[in-house]
A and B are shown apart, each in its own frame.
Chain A
Amino acid sequence: MKKTFAALVAAAITATAAPAMAELVVPNLSYRTGPYAANGIPYADGFADYMTLLNERDGGIGGEKVVVPECETAYNTEKGVECYEATKSDGALVYNPLSTGITYQLIPKVTADHHVLYTPGYGRTSAANGKVFEWVFNYPANYWDGASIIVKYLAEKAGGSLSGKKIALVYHNSAYGKEPIRTLEELAKKEGYELELLPVDHPGQEQKSQWLQIRRNKPDYVIMYGWGVMNQVAIQEAVNIKYPMENFVGIWWSGSENDVAPAGDKANGYTTISFHGTGADYPVYDDMKKFVIDAGKGAGAGDQVGTMLYSRGMYAAMIISEAIRTAQTMHGAAAVSPEQVRDGFENLNLTEERLTELGLPGFAQPITATCADHGGPGSGMLFSWDAAGKKWNAASDWIQSDGELIDALVAEDSAAFAAETNTAERCN
């Protein structure tokens, strides 16, 4: 009996032991349970599947296998921090927690511990300033870029000007949801539109008040910064009041197949912005099918492949792997350290040619990162929901955010952070 117990303990220790130091450890702080699981699952699957593809097809990155220990956060900030603490001593290189709340808690920790925090399209927007945020990267676009791109798109839709128009912002009443307010207010001064703010409390299952206001005030356009059930209810309420779907635009976290599904055919025309392509037509999916899905090595059931959030998880994994590859080339070592990976992120040069080599032509915009620029090109593309075809169709070309305005806002916010935390500027 004792022997059996000892064997079990030994097996358990072996199963949970830290990965060998030569492996590239990229923890996946995911959420497959809780109220936001429906969004967390495809993202986590896309992330894990891309890393599995690299392992199965290429033998890892630069000959080193990638290990992706998964830790469940349930989109809970405390659990996210616990996951970080539990995995950081296992040789972790990069964290990507898919939560703005967790990101804010991890920024001081990764700065002290020297780990890279990669938050594409979420987290602290002013982390785009590498002079202040040495360990945080959020390229290719941030919340403020998103707001600016949506406004540009709407201006184009309105015939070139938004002067005299009304725009309502329906937002998650949290740090994340409030992010675009300042940008939209500044843009309102510039473009001449009237901005109406409509906060929705977590989780957002009841939004009657907000949509009655929209029905009364008849804004020309509605922008949404929501997450989880808030998105589905908002789209359903917009359908209920017969708000024109093509004038309703969501940020990238309000634009997945999950969000439009409950409203069915009536969600047709709902528009969202994204900083990457979607759909399973990219050549990389041939390999994904062969080496991962059909081989039974997929992280999920394989039914999410090519969806918007799966694509986003895959995008994050692709950027991280390219940054690691850059670090390996720069330092001439396959087993890189977190500091070297930071260098890789700061010197990432993702070209269109490289994206084509990766089987992702036109999937994203090229990125040329620098020590100071952790924010990337700040561009995005609009997609419109085709309810009959159950797919997102491109509704615009790549649109560049208002760099002049966003850069100034980033500089202001990061300077405030630097003053508050006594952070000396770098990259000078």
Chain B
Amino acid sequence: MPDQLLFALEVTANGLMAGVMYSLVALGFVLIFKASGIFNYSQGVLALFAALTLVGIQEGQVPFAHLINAVTGLHVTEFGWKVPALLAILLTALVMVGLAIIIEKLVLKHLVNQEPIILFMATIGMAYFLEGFGDVMWGADIKTLDVGLPQGINETLESVTDKALGYGFFVDNLDIVATVVAVMLVTALTLFSQYSKQGRALRAVADDHQAALSVGISLRFIWVLVWSIAGFVALVAGIMWGSKSGVQFSLSLIALKALPVLMLGGFTSIPGAIVGGLIIGVGEKLFEFFAGPLIGGATENWFAYVLALVFLVFRPQGLFGEKIIERV
């Protein structure tokens, strides 16, 4: 097989994996938009906050240590214990549920029946608040996140492809784990929404708020539920991205990678977030591989948006989005 074709295959495989990572972020946006019509600007910051909290709990870090030290003159930084990764993840998930309750009580409850743009602006405010709050709570230094996920080249795949094709493919173990987790997550979300009572209530709210309210579904409970699930998805995304680069404030910028995925896949479709991610991941990587060297490289950021825009021209609602039909 020609070298260029082998490289293109390797790039495609890595593009698919990168796409899964983008999808993990996009999923959080979709969940909230689907259930409440809110474009949650703070989804990237939620991932950052979740990852910061996870490392903080795992490392036994004292929250608000800088503030406590500044006010009291003490020098406390750590409790002196380490929490096992799984327990820390569970505790962080609980924190995210607590955060969802607070968001509902302090922000969303007061904005019922407001225009979507008002809710969008509220999430912008939440993003800035949470970023600052995370900073004060856990500090702004870069934290190493280690929950035991494997990283580095998958040697089995490298060896198999080397024997079969004469060229060992590179695929990162972390990306493989992310793919497995994403499949599990989507399956769990689908089962939840199809077969559980709360899931059906969530779908009812997504279809028609008024009708759902009229049959006794609590909108406030659904909002807490959906923000909790989005918080958990943010935690998963934070773990995957944070394992790669360390947990730091630029983690919130991963949201930028999710936007073209949403534009392409549609804001209301969970499968759309996955398929959109895969198309964006492969598209941007192949474009960089073939066209990057000719036009100076660094094409991935803008090409993802160009690709999404091209899809939008033909399907404004995205690949899997619901077609909006307005009758006069």
Please list the residues of chain A having a beta carbon within 8 angstroms of any beta carbon in chain B: 32-38, 41, 173, 197-203, 205-206, 208-210, 212, 215-216, 228-229, 232-233, 236, 239-242, 258, 261-262, 264, 296, 301, 303
In angstroms, Cα B173 to Cα A242, docked, is 13
B66 proximal to A (CB < 8 A): yes
Judge whether A206 and B257 touch: CB under 8 Å.
yes
Q: Are A205 and B241 in contact (CB under 8 A)?
A: yes
Q: Which residue of A lies closest to B69 (CB)?
A: A301
Digitize B123-166: 1 where CB-to-A-CB distance is under 8 Å, 0 elsewhere. Answer: 00000000110010000111011100001110000000000000
When chains A and B are docked, how far (Å) is the Cα of A296 from the Cα of B257?
Answer: 42
Choice from A37, A199, A216, A236 contacting B245 with Cβ under 8 Å = A236
Contact B142 A209 (CB under 8 A): no
Answer whether A35 and B301 are a contact pair too, CB < 8 Å, given A212-B14, A233-B244, A301-B66.
no
In whole Å, how far is A309's beta carbon from the nearest beta carbon of chain B?
11
| Inter-subunit contact B250/A229 (CB<8 Å) | yes
Contact between B300 and A209 (Cβ–Cβ < 8 Å)?
yes
Shortest beta-carbon distance from A185 to chain B in Å: 14
Can you spell out 13 A-B residue pairs with CB atoms less than 8 angstroms apart?
A35-B249, A35-B250, A35-B253, A37-B140, A201-B301, A205-B244, A206-B18, A208-B17, A208-B172, A212-B170, A229-B251, A240-B170, A264-B146
Interface residue B202 (Cβ < 8 Å from any Cβ of A): no
Binding site for A on B (CB under 8 A): 7, 10-11, 14, 17-18, 21, 65-66, 69, 73, 77, 131-132, 135, 140-142, 144-146, 151-153, 170, 172, 241, 244-246, 248-254, 257, 285, 288-289, 292, 296-298, 300-302
With most chain A CB atoms within 10 A of its CB, the pick from B14, B17, B141, B252 is B141
Q: Beyond A37-B135, A201-B301, A296-B73, is A229–B257 a contact (Cβ under 8 Å)?
A: no
B53 nearest CB across to chain A (Å):
17
Chain B residue nearest to A34 (CB atoms) is B249
Q: How many angstroms from the CA of A202 to the CA of B288 in the assembled complex?
A: 15
B11 and A240 within 8 A (CB): no
User: Which B residues touch A38, using CB under 8 A?
Assistant: 140-142, 248-249
B288 to chain A: closest CB distance in Å? 4
Chain A residues with CB under 8 A of B297: 173, 197-199, 210
Residue contact B141 to A258, C-beta cutoff 8 Å = yes
Q: How far is the CB of A51 from chain B (nearest CB, A)?
A: 20
- Which of A201, A209, A258 has the most chain B CB within a 10 Å cutoff? A209
Q: Which residue of B lies closest to A32 (CB)?
A: B140
Which one of B141, B251, B252, B300 contacts A41 once the chains associate, using CB atoms below 8 Å? B141
Per CB-CB distance, the 3 closest pairs between chain A and chain B, nearest first, are: A262-B246, A35-B250, A199-B298
